[in-house]
């Protein structure tokens, strides 16, 4: 079974600063990897996904993530954070073949200071 | 526009009453899911359905029930047996098969008084 860890519960950054949110996964084969964002009181929106191919994935809202197999990581990055990026971010891992129910991390809350 | 709708956005019920949360999708997705979200606990899977007239328990199914009579609809009933029902409930759907990518509704916040 797959699992995912988001080691940071909260991250605080200043507006305009760069951002990196960490995600580590456990899965025996090549995983499907996702980052979702959730604004308060809303559903989750997909930011980006990795299935195969280029390990650097571009997403919406200026986000990108890099799949590093050797480190079992899929960290989310953004070069310059905007106040509107304040939200909860979830990393998820899915299995290729068999059950297609992804496993979600507990989330990282991003706080943006002006 | 295709998407998932959940209604109502906010729901208040007295303790001991059953309540049904609606989830409808027009994405033509085979699979649908219900999650419960509590602060600091991420998403926990309640039930999921891979096809009409079939559904499976997730990690926290006790005190909940579902039905899947139509491809588009997957209502969740929170019964009086659920000990702590106050939470944010999210419905999602996916193509199924080998996709894993889920599309989420806006959620329903249930408060039991």
Scanning A64-83 for CB atoms below 8 A from B yields none
Residues 6 or more apart in contact with residue A13 via CB below 8 angstroms: A19, A81, A110, A111, A112, A113
Residue of B43, B45, B98 with shortest CB distance to A97: B98
Residue of A44, A46, A106 with shortest CB distance to B40: A106
CA A39 from chain center: how many Å? 14
**Nearest chain B residue to A90, by CA:** B42
From chain B, which residues contact A within 8 Å (Cβ)? 4, 6, 31, 33, 40-43, 45, 48, 88, 90, 92, 94, 96-107, 109
Quick one: pLDDT band at residue A8, thresholds 50, 70, 90? very high
Q: What's chain A look like in SS3?
A: CCEEECCCCEEEEECCCCEEECCEEECCCCCEEEEEEECCCCCEEEEEEECCCCCEEECHHHCEEEEEHHHCEEEEEECCCCHHHCEEEEEEEECCCCCCCCEECCCEEEEEEC
Q: Using a CB-CB distance cutoff of 8 angstroms, which residues of chain A are in contact with residue B57?
A: none
Minimal CA separation from A102 to chain B, in Å: 6
**Nearest chain A residue to B38, by CA:** A106
Do residues A105 and B42 make contact, with C-beta atoms less than 8 angstroms apart?
yes
Testing the interface with A: which of B23, B99, B102 to mutate, by most A Cβ within 10 A? Answer: B102
Residue A98 is predicted with a pLDDT of 61
Residue A99 is predicted with a pLDDT of 66
| Integer Cα distance of B25 and B82 in angstroms | 26
> A113: which strand partners?
A14
**pLDDT top residue among B56 and A99:** B56
Mean of the pLDDT values across residues A73-89? Answer: 97
Q: Using a CB-CB distance cutoff of 8 angstroms, which residues of chain B are in contact with residue A60?
A: none
Residue B99 is predicted with a pLDDT of 64
Query: Please, what are the averages of pLDDT over each run of 10 residues along chain B (113 residues)?
Result: 90 92 96 93 92 94 97 96 94 81 95 92
| Integer Cα distance of A93 and B22 in angstroms | 27
Q: What length does chain A have?
A: 114
Minimal CA separation from B92 to chain A, in Å: 9
Q: Using a CB-CB distance cutoff of 8 angstroms, which residues of chain A are in contact with residue B4?
A: 43
3-state secondary structure of B73: strand
Shortest CA distance to A17 belongs to which of A76, A66, A78? A78
Minimal CA separation from A8 to chain B, in Å: 11
The percent helix, strand, coil of chain B (3-state, each to 5) is: 0, 50, 50
pLDDT of A95 strictly over 90:
no
Shortest CA distance to B69 belongs to which of B37, B23, B35? B23
**pLDDT top residue among B76 and A97:** B76
**Nearest chain A residue to B30, by CA:** A100
- Tokens linked to A22: 């960490």
| Integer Cα distance of A32 and B98 in angstroms | 10
Residue B101 is predicted with a pLDDT of 87
């Amino acid at each position: 079974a797959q699992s995912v860890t988001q080691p940071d519960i909260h991250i605080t950054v200043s507006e305009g600063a760069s951002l990196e949110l960490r995600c580590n996964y456990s899965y025996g084969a090549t995983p499907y990897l996702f980052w979702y964002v959730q604004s308060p009181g809303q559903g989750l929106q997909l930011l980006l996904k990795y299935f195969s191919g280029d390990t650097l994935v571009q997403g919406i809202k200026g986000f990108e993530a890099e799949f590093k197999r050797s480190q079992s990581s899929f960290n989310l990055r953004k070069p310059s954070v905007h106040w509107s990026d304040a939200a909860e971010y979830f990393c998820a891992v899915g299995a290729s073949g068999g059950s297609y129910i992804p496993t979600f991390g507990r989330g990282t809350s991003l706080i943006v200071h002006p | 526009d295709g998407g998932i709708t959940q209604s109502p956005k906010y729901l208040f019920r007295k303790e001991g009453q059953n309540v049904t949360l609606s989830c409808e999708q027009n994405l033509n997705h085979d699979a649908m899911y219900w999650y419960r979200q509590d602060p600091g606990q991420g998403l926990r899977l309640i039930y999921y359905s891979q096809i009409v007239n079939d559904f499976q328990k997730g990690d926290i199914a006790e005190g909940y029930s579902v039905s899947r009579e139509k491809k588009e609809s997957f209502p969740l009933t929170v019964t009086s047996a659920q000990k702590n029902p106050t939470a944010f409930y999210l419905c999602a759907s996916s193509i199924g098969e080998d996709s894993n990518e889920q599309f989420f509704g806006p959620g329903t916040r249930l408060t039991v008084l």
